[in-house]
Amino acid sequence: MPEHKIQLIEKLTGVYTSKRSYYAELKDKIAELSKRNFQLEIINELAQEFNISLPKEYLNKTVKKIYERVQDIFYVKQVAILTLREQKLRVSYCYPADESCYEGIEITSEEGKELWDAIANRKQSVWNKEEGAEDNFLSRMGFDVAVFNPLLTQNKTYGILMVGSDQSTTYDPMDLTFLQQLANQIAIYFQDGALFAEVNRAKLEWEATVKAVRDVIVVIDRQLRILRVNQAALDFCGLSEQEVIGEKYCDIICTLNGNDQESCDNCVFYEALETGNSINTQRQLDDGRVLEMYGYPATQENREMGFFVYLIDITERLKMQVQLMQAARLAALGEMAAGVAHELNTPLAVI
């Protein structure tokens, strides 16, 4: 059959139209899948790059990257991250920054009503200049459309990821989901940073507290290796922290007492590690100093980690006790002498 007749039959039966519709639909599906894959690629990049060791300034690069990469999906005029601290909403990162949106500017509830509503409702919202309520901040930004994505994780709001456009734009549901996923990644970064700061603050407070104690504090593991010491312990040993950490407790502390191998074999720590009981004993050093030693098992999640050793130099206290005992003896001797003199004086007075 001639080719032109075949084409004529296809047109009359609708086969040609069906093919063209099928290929057009297939082309649209491929374009949509490519778009979604590109969005997932952006989210994956952020997830891999974010970690608690990154400085806060790194988010400036992140906002810029979001702005540049999102342009390949849909047009945006500006991207900004606003953080919520002590009930104050401030612009922390913005790209490109201008006189209306820059780092540090505070957005009050009167100026940015839509932003505060998104925080209060704790869900994504889309603002349209033609349909939405009047908002001074967004109008000053020159936006026609803006999407607010709360930085929300574990029931805590850290701020908002704002994406704005000065053109009339309609976002499909997948685009809005993509923006909220970006916000979720940023929220996790803020959460991890807050947890890291809290742990680091507790660590610094603990170290400052231990260093302020004037008595010797040593933390050792189950192999009697020194994990931590305070300044009093370093002064006591006459060594630096680098020379002490990781060394055996016996080699650093016990050597000051001239201990031999036999006494090390009978070390109270080994017995305490087996029984899990605390210890309290005294030791006299070669230089005459007397130490009172307390040892407490250090546990973590019901697992023994080692020992917390607390040493107190009681030399002066013992000397004072000896002096007090001598003074008490002298006082008793004086009272006895006075009593004897009184007994002797009584017959003499009669005579």
Residue found under tokens 């685009």: 175
55/158 same-domain check: yes
117/77 same-domain check: yes
| Residues paired with residue 280 on neighbouring β-strands, in sequence order | 294
104/238 same-domain check: no
**Residue 255 resides in a domain:** yes
97/164 same-domain check: yes
Residue 181: CB atoms within 10 A of its CB come to: 17
Give 254-263 contacts, CB < 8 A, sequence gap 24+: 256/285, 256/286, 257/283, 257/284, 257/285, 257/286, 258/286
**Residue 328 resides in a domain:** no
For the chain, what is the domain count? Answer: 2
**Residue 93 resides in a domain:** yes
Q: Which H or E run contains 243?
A: helix 241-244
Residue 250: CB atoms within 10 A of its CB come to: 17
Q: Which H or E run contains 145?
A: strand 145-153
154/223 same-domain check: no
- CATH number where 48 lies: 3.30.450.40
The residue among 192, 224, 256 that closes a domain is: 192
44/100 same-domain check: yes
Question: Chain centroid to CA 194: how far?
Answer: 5
pLDDT in tens, the chain (351 residues): 566 555 555 555 554 555 556 666 667 677 677 777 777 787 777 777 766 666 667 778 888 888 888 888 889 999 999 999 888 999 999 999 888 888 889 999 888 888 999 999 999 999 988 876 778 888 888 899 999 999 998 888 999 999 999 988 888 888 899 899 889 988 888 888 888 888 888 888 888 888 888 888 888 888 889 988 888 888 888 888 889 999 988 888 765 555 555 556 667 777 777 777 888 888 877 777 888 888 888 776 666 677 888 888 888 777 777 777 777 777 777 677 666 665 666 665 555
80/188 same-domain check: yes
86/128 same-domain check: yes
160/91 same-domain check: yes
Range of the domain at 282: 212-317
**Residue 40 resides in a domain:** yes
**Residue 270 resides in a domain:** yes
Distance CA 77, CA 138 (A): 12
232/120 same-domain check: no
**Residue 44 resides in a domain:** yes
**Residue 23 resides in a domain:** no
176/249 same-domain check: no
163/279 same-domain check: no
What number of CA atoms fall less than 13 Å from residue 130's CA on the CB side? Answer: 5
The residue among 137, 157, 192 that closes a domain is: 192
Q: Which H or E run contains 127?
A: strand 125-128
The CA dihedral of 92, 97, 101, 106, to the nearest 10 degrees, is 30
**Residue 236 resides in a domain:** yes
